[in-house]
Structure 1
Amino acid sequence: MTVTGEPGQCESGRPYHGPPTTVTVTCCLDKHAHEVLDVELAAAASRPDGLVHAICGHVIAAAPMVAPDGPPCALCSAVMDVRQAGSRRTG
């Protein structure tokens, strides 16, 4: 599991409202590591099926988080590249 993005709070303890944070989650069905928004991962905990939606649109049945990441999802990687390029232009 890999976490990317900014922390949820500033040093002052106030909430941070920066870009969404993603977590890398490997799907036990396609064996690829997908990027999932942290809020999506948190919301999945309250769902009976526990499935999460990756930023590429894939519905993930998460592999155990202690397992090594699978190969990266090409579409998730492309979405992350576009997000990072956009944040460099606006930041």
Structure 2
Amino acid sequence: MTKHLNLLPGETLEIKGFDSLGEPIITREDDGSLALTFNFMPPDNGTYEENLDMDIFDNFDNELSKVLGVEVVWEDREFFNIPTPKEDTIELLKII
């Protein structure tokens, strides 16, 4: 059984292993939604030119939504909102 990571409103959790130069952060909002913030999008692990060719990031919100099984709204280049996360959403974000 997966342990539910319950963040209180305003609490944050840094995700390790996505981008060595700027890990993403999950924040629980007052309305219960999750804000997912990336420091660089696309990730900055390689040279700038290499990152421009990373096609997965063209539809990253859709890819996240498929994996998480919840709606993901791409609000701005580095900001995503998960309006109605499930109990396992934070745990899934940690391992993607």
Normalised TM-score (structure 1): 0.30
Quick check: which has more Rg, 1 or 2? Answer: 1
Higher relative contact order (CA 8 A, sep 6+): 2
Normalised TM-score (structure 2): 0.29
